[in-house]
Structures are given as structure tokens and as C-alpha cells.
Amino acid sequence: MEKLEVDPQSAAAAMPKRELPRTAKGRRTRQAILEAARICFDEAGYTGTRIQDITERAGLSLGAFYRYFDSRREVLLAILAEFFDSLYKSSRSPWRADDPGHSVRETTLLYLEGYSVNADLYRLAYETFLTDPDVNRIWDDARHMFYRRIERSLRRGQAAGLVRDDVDCALSAALLGGMAEQYAFSAFVVRSAGIAFDLAKVADEVSALWIGGVGSGGPN
Amino acid sequence: MEKLEVDPQSAAAAMPKRELPRTAKGRRTRQAILEAARICFDEAGYTGTRIQDITERAGLSLGAFYRYFDSRREVLLAILAEFFDSLYKSSRSPWRADDPGHSVRETTLLYLEGYSVNADLYRLAYETFLTDPDVNRIWDDARHMFYRRIERSLRRGQAAGLVRDDVDCALSAALLGGMAEQYAFSAFVVRSAGIAFDLAKVADEVSALWIGGVGSGGPN
Amino acid sequence: MEKLEVDPQSAAAAMPKRELPRTAKGRRTRQAILEAARICFDEAGYTGTRIQDITERAGLSLGAFYRYFDSRREVLLAILAEFFDSLYKSSRSPWRADDPGHSVRETTLLYLEGYSVNADLYRLAYETFLTDPDVNRIWDDARHMFYRRIERSLRRGQAAGLVRDDVDCALSAALLGGMAEQYAFSAFVVRSAGIAFDLAKVADEVSALWIGGVGSGGPN
Amino acid sequence: MEKLEVDPQSAAAAMPKRELPRTAKGRRTRQAILEAARICFDEAGYTGTRIQDITERAGLSLGAFYRYFDSRREVLLAILAEFFDSLYKSSRSPWRADDPGHSVRETTLLYLEGYSVNADLYRLAYETFLTDPDVNRIWDDARHMFYRRIERSLRRGQAAGLVRDDVDCALSAALLGGMAEQYAFSAFVVRSAGIAFDLAKVADEVSALWIGGVGSGGPN
DNA sequence: TATGAATGAGTGTTCATTCAT
DNA sequence: GATGAATGAACACTCATTCAT
């Protein structure tokens, strides 16, 4: 049943792939460019990064870039596509039906920690999604995969009598999921001074709000 | 007591003010530039808008721009500062202590509607806040004013026994407020196909989650 | 009857005209660029001329170029279109029906002299017509206007019994016209050492071949 | 007497020869490059062809090119030199002194057909002769060999009383030869829509103009 | 002999900004 | 106040050529 999540329209699949370099040296160079680009984007932002900045950091000449990518944008997409793709794959935490609160806490904590570690990529996505339809799409796909997982949990909860019947699972999933997402945004992207809590505490609070918010008041 | 909200660091106040034009004609021209810029930013994004695009749309020569602004960025800040400033002033909906659910619903709906109407400005903020510290600051200020209002409500609720005592009001305020904000983001900025609900229904659901999430189960 | 020659598809008319500069200064600058370009193209060829060469020779900064033209190619077309257009207008030498030999000599001499004076533009055309369809077209149009004039003369000659009836006027016009054109090509474009005759002598010989070649042997 | 035609300055002889590859495989590769280049030049023009285009079409790596040629220009010269050299050798059609008209017709037709078959190479020559002195020279040499053959015929004609004594043989040869050359240019290089006659008919008309143009009116 | 990775000078083009009118 | 011409730094991208394997 989980197979439905293997979206054939997945992020990476949609890229206009230029075939990978044949030699090992070429593959190493391509990788070096990607890594250098990620660092440059993090330091100076996407707009603030020139192609030459990337190649310089990678210890390459300017021209080398164009053997592997057509444009700065293509690097951006390669980086983000791979990242969002990895989210598809890695977002598997076991769900304990007997203890939803624990599961929510666990999932939320993992999510926040993952976000924190990759905050530079989220920042990159925020900087570019408005002007790049492809970024917008692959990111939104990832987001909805995340929401759909919550939605399925809510439905299971309704079936088990743990979740109120009047809850609209799709909408609530977006709202509940958005809670953690927006928190991460404020904390790790905006880096707002006003939002600096311990992640475990945040996960606890999210879990409490969630359970209370949708819970039937029945056995939880 | 509301005086605390009159932030001396308020958005508009922080702008490096060039004094307004003396003549009425000058003021009209300045305004025309601002309006043209907002349209251009909406159509082509901030990065995609050249100063000449703005003056052309305003029916002016390129040189005219520099009589009123030093740079495109200054226009951006003038537009966003004024907008976020207006949020400070307009966000006053009466709070009915006897019916928190109604108040949350009402406030949320107003928020979403206001977001929807000014979605172009939120988009503009999303495009620029990462590369422009001033945008980041004035936007984050506005956001926290919003969160602090929620926080105060929660504290009042705790005092009245309506809100569980173990709720961390500051954190929960951010989480609950973020729920609506993230929804608006998905719906009006990302314009995600997967997020298209009736705003009233969203407000209802937000209210339900909210009340359930923090409610003491006592008289609500 | 001559109005038929006013080809509405004329060269200059087909150009994607960017409107001329409004101010006198602007018009002078545009003209300076055209003149500088013509010299550069003459000295270094079209391919050997960089846009910066043009602006430097015109005493302008590089950026100035783009206020008046979108590309080097546009300058090329402006120069050649105007030139071939002027050929349309200037190619009017009176025809003396009583002395065709004289008329041919006269017309040929004018043609060769005009070619010689503008040899740089013909060279420019030869360098570019194969890669630029517009150059090919406007030049071919000019050439055929030239051929059609000969064709009309031949038809008049046939009507007057001066030209053999079995002469195919259209084909012969191209062949006879081509004689002078190819001579000019060798002499002024190729600058072949083997082709250096006095132009008056060439005109004489062309006339003799022409009259003999198509003449009926009747009263000429 | 024909020895005069063995031009010691002959085209191919003037090339800065890099010795041919030793192995059979090497010779095949070199030939493959030449053939690929000819096709590329035909399809995209000389300017529009990159060295990589050539090697790709030849099924080789980019680096392979430099084992056989130093530059794109050298390939160009190799192709054109060989072609114009072959013209030297092949342009031998028997001359029937008793029937000059037939001979002219025959020679002209062969010339036009040969031009038509190798139109791509003539186009290549037209694209490059202005910027490449070597192309200019080897082509002009070929052209003048062609003219000199006509000139000799005219002299023989004068000796035989078939050609008017006042004809300047050298000049007339260029003019008469130019007639066919210019026709071929219009038809096969410019590909002008206005010039599409049957080649046999063109040869007929050329012959008629030629005989009439220089003929003494004596026994022809 | 052949490969394909790497180089870097060269050039077109954009666009914020200044300035004379 | 307004115009539009002029500037020039900045950057993307190309491609002939070299070289290690």
C-alpha cells in the first residue's frame, strides 16, 4: 500500500538530465561543483553567487563548469531535487498506534532536526521558489507528501476512534503539518530571535496541541 | 498597556528617510513610482524588475526615478515598510472572552483575507527577506506582534481557567499562529494546487484545533 | 508604368525598425555608430569586428551601442538595407533608343563606378549573405531589379526589331547583367591581379559583346 | 604549350603540409574528419561550425582533431585546395574548331553541372575568401585558369578569322567566362528564386550570346 | 592513436547610475 | 522637475586549444 508514495513524477525524475560524466575524474569534478555551489549559496545566497565563485571554490577554471551544467539554475535544481528526493525516501519513522502522542513527538523532532541540519537548503528553496517554477513544484511535492502522511495517520485515528469524526483530515493535516513547518521556518530560515526553543520542547508542545486539537477525548 | 506594541524600532521608522517631495506634483510622481513598482514586482518578481520597467510603467523617464529613490531596494523597503506598518495598525479585532472559539475564527478569517488581498506583497517579502536584512527584520517584527497578541490571549485564557496550565504560552502562540500563516503561505504564495479550501472552513478548523489543542476541557 | 518598381517589399521597409532617437544628439550618435561600423567592417571584415571596435572608433562607450542597436547584425542590416535601397532609387540613366550601344556603355560604366566606390559594401554583402538570410534577400532583390531593367530594354529592342526574336529576354538579361557584375566582383571584391582594366574600356567591350550577342544584325 | 597551366603556385602545393598519417587507420580518420567537415560546413556554414561539431559527426573525440589538423582553417584549406586542384585537372573538354558554338555549349554545360554538384564548396569559398587570403588566392587561380582557356580559344578564333580583330581577348574572356560564373552564383549559391532555368537552355543562350558577341559574322 | 577533462581568454549583453540639457 | 543619452563595471557563456591518461 505504501507503494503509492513512490511518485513516478518524483522530483529528480523530472529534471532534464544531462548524462553523467563517463570517467571517475569527471564524476568527482561534478560532485565538487555541487558541493562548492551548496557552500556558496549558503554564504552568499543564490543571487549573490556567481558561477566563477563556484568554480573557484571547487578549485576549477570557469570553463569547467559548463562541461557539467548549463547554468547556475541547473545546479540549483540538481541540489534541491536530490535533497527533496531524499526526503521522500528518508521520511519513514515507525508509527506506534498505541501511543500517537509519542509518534507525533518523534516524527516532529526528526523533522525539525532534519530541517535544522539542512537549513541552508531550505533557505535556498525560499530564495528561489518564487522565481523558479521547478523549485516551486518539487518543493511543494515534498511538502504534500509530508501532509499526506499526516492525513493517513488521522484517518487511521478516526477509524480507531481516536480522532474526532468531524475533523477534515486533509485540511487538518495541512494545518498540523504547517505548524511544525512554520516553526522551523521562523527558527532556521528567518533565524528570528523571538523563536528559540529547545527542539524537544517544541516537539512536546506540538504533540500536545495536536493530540488535544484532533483528539476525541477518548482513550489516548 | 497597548503602548508596549508601539515598537520604537517600528518598520517605517527605521528607513533612511529621504524627505518627501515638496510640490504636489512631486508627491504624485513619487506615488506613481511606488504603485508602478508594486505592479512590476508582482508581475516579474523583484529580481526580474529593472528600474526602467518601473519608470516605463509609471510613464516616466528613467532619470526621474533617482529624484525620488536611490535604488530599487529603497522602493522595496518603502512598499513593505508601509504594508507591515499598516498591519500593526489594522490588526485590531475585538476579543470576546466569553466565546474564544468565535474570536479565533474571526481573527483567523480576517488574517487570511488580508493575506489573500495582499498576497503580492507577501510574495515580495518571501523573495527578498533572505537577502535583505531590513525586510527580514520588519517582517519578523510584524510576525511577532501577531504572535504576541495570541500569547496575551492564551495568558488571559490561563488566568480564566480556559487554557491548560501546562501550556507554554509563548511557544504555543507561535505554533498556533504559524498554523494560519503556513496555510496562507501554501495557498496564496506557493499557490499549491493541493491547498484550496474555503477560507471560512479553514478558519473553523483552525479554531477547532486551537480550542481543542490548548483547551482545558473546562467550560469553553 | 515605372511605378511597378516601387517594391513595397523593399529592403529598408522589411527591417524590424526600432524607432529613431528623439533628440538630435541621439541621431548624431546613431549615425556615428553606423559610420564607424562601416569603416570597421571594411578594415577587419564583419566577422573580425567586435562591437567594442565600433564604439571605440565612434568615440563612445561600449554600452552606448545598445541604445541604438540590438546587435552587430542589426548594424549590418541597417547599412546594407540603406545602400541597396539607394540603388533602387539612383539607378535611373536615360535610355537612348536610337543608340543602344551608347546606352549600354553608359549604364555599365555608371554601374561599375558605383560598384567601385561602394566596393566595401559589396564586400560586406559577400561576407555575410550566406549566413544571413536578410542580407541574401535584400541583395538579391536589388540584383533582380537590375536584371529586370535590362530585360525591359531587351523587350523594347525586340519590339523595335533590334534584338533577335529567339532571345529569351529574362535569361539573357541575367546573363548580360551578370557579365558586368562578375567583372566588378573580380575587380573590386576579389581584387584579382589578373583583372585590372580601364573601366571605360570594360564598358566598351561589354557594350560590344552585348550588341553583337543579342543584336539582329539589323540597323544598330 | 599546355605546360603553362601546370601552375607551380598551384593550390595544394602552397599548403603548409603536415605529413599524412602513417597508418591506414590514421589515414581513414583524417579522411573522416574531412568528410564530416564538408557536411558541417554545408549545413551550418564555416563560421557556424565548431571543431567539436566536426569530430562529433565523424564519431571522434574532440582531441582527435588536433592529431590531424591544427585548426578549422586548415581543414577548410585542405577541402578547397583539393577541390580547386581537381578543377585544374578535370576541365578538359575537347574543342571542336569546326563548331565553336557546340564547344561553347558543351563547355558551359559541363561547367554549370560541375558547379551545381559542388555548390556547397563554392558556397564555402564565398563565405571565406574575403577573410582568408589563401582561399582568395587558390580560388582566383582556378578562376583565371578558366579565363585563360577562354582567352586561348578566342585567340585561336581570331587567327582563324572567326573572331573580330578588335576583340580584346583577355578582357572578353573574363567577361564571357563571368557570364556563366555569375549565373551559377545566382542559381546555386544565392539560390535566387528568380534564376531557375534549365541548364541546357542556359548553355544554349550563353553560346548564342558568345558567338554573336565576338563573332566576326564570317563563316561560323 | 584516441579520449574527454580542463583551461582561460574573448566577447556579447545587461543595467544601475550619472549628467548635461 | 523631467528627459534620455552616456557610462562602465559586472557577468554569462563559448570555444579553440592543451594535456594527462
Residue D63's nearest nucleotide, by CA–C1', is E3
Ranking B48-57, B174-183, C193-202, D123-132 by mean pLDDT, the lowest is C193-202
Mean pLDDT of B156-175: 90
Does B193 have pLDDT greater than 80?
A: yes
For residue B178, CA distances in Å to B135, B185, B204 come to 19, 10, 16
In this predicted structure, what is the pLDDT of residue B198? 94
**Residue in A closest to B145 by C-alpha:** A194
The string of pLDDT tens digits covering residues B131-152 is 999 999 999 999 999 999 999 9
Does D195 have pLDDT greater than 80?
A: yes
The fraction of chain B above a pLDDT of 70, given in percent, is 86
**Chain A residues touching B168 at Cβ < 8 A:** 201, 205
In this predicted structure, what is the pLDDT of residue A125? 98
Superfamily, domain D16-70:
Homeodomain-like (1.10.10.60)
Q: Any idea how long chain B is?
A: 220
Unique residue bearing C-alpha cell 584549406: D77
Average pLDDT value over all residues in chain C: 87
**Multiple choice CATH, C17-70, 1.10.10.60, 2.40.50.140, 3.40.50.2300, 1.10.3720.10:** 1.10.10.60
Average pLDDT value over all residues in chain A: 87
At residue A1 the predicted structure's pLDDT band, cuts being 50, 70 and 90, is very low
Does C214 have pLDDT greater than 70?
A: no
Cβ atoms of D180 and C143 closer than 8 Å: no
Is any atom of nucleic acid chain E found less than 7 Å from the CB of residue D207? Answer: no
Cβ atoms of B52 and B36 closer than 8 Å: no
Nearest to D145 by CA among C192, A145, B196: C192
**Helices of type H across chain C:** 11-14, 24-44, 51-57, 65-68, 72-90, 100-117, 119-128, 133-159, 169-184, 199-214
For residue B141, CA distances in Å to B5, B7, B130 come to 10, 9, 15
User: Of all helices (H) and strands (E), which one includes residue D56?
Assistant: helix D51-57
What does the domain layout of chain D look like in residue ranges?
A: 16-70, 80-214
**Chain B residues touching A202 at Cβ < 8 A:** 171, 175
**Residue in D closest to C202 by C-alpha:** D171
- Using the beta-carbon criterion (under 8 Å), do A123 and B130 form an inter-chain contact? yes
Mean pLDDT of A137-159: 92
Q: How far is B131 from chain A (nearest CA, A)?
A: 7
Nearest to B1 by CA among B111, B211, B156: B156
Q: Using CA atoms, how far apart are residues B30 and B76, in angstroms rounded to an integer?
A: 13
Q: Using CA atoms, how far apart are residues A26 and D167, in angstroms rounded to an integer?
A: 71
At residue D20 the predicted structure's pLDDT band, cuts being 50, 70 and 90, is confident
At residue B100 the predicted structure's pLDDT band, cuts being 50, 70 and 90, is confident
Mean pLDDT of B118-128: 97
In this predicted structure, what is the pLDDT of residue C177? 94
Chain A with chain B: Cβ pairs closer than 8 A: 135
CA of residue D56 to C1' of nucleotide F15, angstroms: 15
More confident of the two residues C189 and A211? C189
In this predicted structure, what is the pLDDT of residue C102? 87
Count Cβ atoms below 10 Å from residue D194 Cβ, excluding itself.
15
Cβ atoms of B145 and B5 closer than 8 Å: yes
More confident of the two residues A152 and B8? A152
Q: Using CA atoms, how far apart are residues A63 and A49, in angstroms rounded to an integer?
A: 16
In this predicted structure, what is the pLDDT of residue C81? 96
Does C5 have pLDDT greater than 50?
A: no
Mean pLDDT of D72-83: 96
- Using the beta-carbon criterion (under 8 Å), do D208 and C213 form an inter-chain contact? yes
Q: How far is B62 from chain A (nearest CA, A)?
A: 24
**Multiple choice CATH, D80-214, 3.40.50.150, 1.10.357.10, 1.10.10.10, 2.60.260.20:** 1.10.357.10
Q: How far apart are the first and last CA of chain A?
A: 26
Does C174 have pLDDT greater than 60?
A: yes
Residue type at position A211? I
C-alpha cell at D198: 534549365
Does D188 have pLDDT greater than 50?
A: yes
Does A191 have pLDDT greater than 70?
A: yes
* Minimal Cβ distance to C209: which of D126, D143, D213: D213
More confident of the two residues A89 and A25? A25
Mean pLDDT of A70-84: 97
Q: Is B92 helix (H, G, I), strand (E, B) or coil?
A: coil
- Using the beta-carbon criterion (under 8 Å), do C130 and D123 form an inter-chain contact? yes
- Using the beta-carbon criterion (under 8 Å), do B209 and A129 form an inter-chain contact? no
Q: How far is C155 from chain D (nearest CA, A)?
A: 16
Unique residue bearing C-alpha cell 513524477: A9
What backbone phi and psi angles, to 5 degrees, belong to B110?
-60, -40
* Minimal Cβ distance to B213: which of A164, A171, A213: A213
Mean pLDDT of B180-187: 97
User: Of all helices (H) and strands (E), which one includes residue A195?
Assistant: none
Is any atom of nucleic acid chain E found less than 7 Å from the CB of residue A27? Answer: no
Nearest to C131 by CA among C46, C10, C30, C16: C46
Cβ atoms of A82 and A125 closer than 8 Å: no
**Residue in C closest to D46 by C-alpha:** C131
User: Of all helices (H) and strands (E), which one includes residue D137?
Assistant: helix D133-159
CA of residue D63 to C1' of nucleotide F20, angstroms: 12
Mean pLDDT of A48-61: 97
The string of pLDDT tens digits covering residues B16-37 is 567 788 888 899 999 999 999 9
Does D207 have pLDDT greater than 50?
A: yes
Residue B61's nearest nucleotide, by CA–C1', is F3
Residue A50's nearest nucleotide, by CA–C1', is F11
Mean pLDDT of D41-67: 96
- Using the beta-carbon criterion (under 8 Å), do A213 and B210 form an inter-chain contact? yes
**Multiple choice CATH, C81-214, 1.10.357.10, 3.20.19.10, 2.60.40.10, 3.10.180.10:** 1.10.357.10
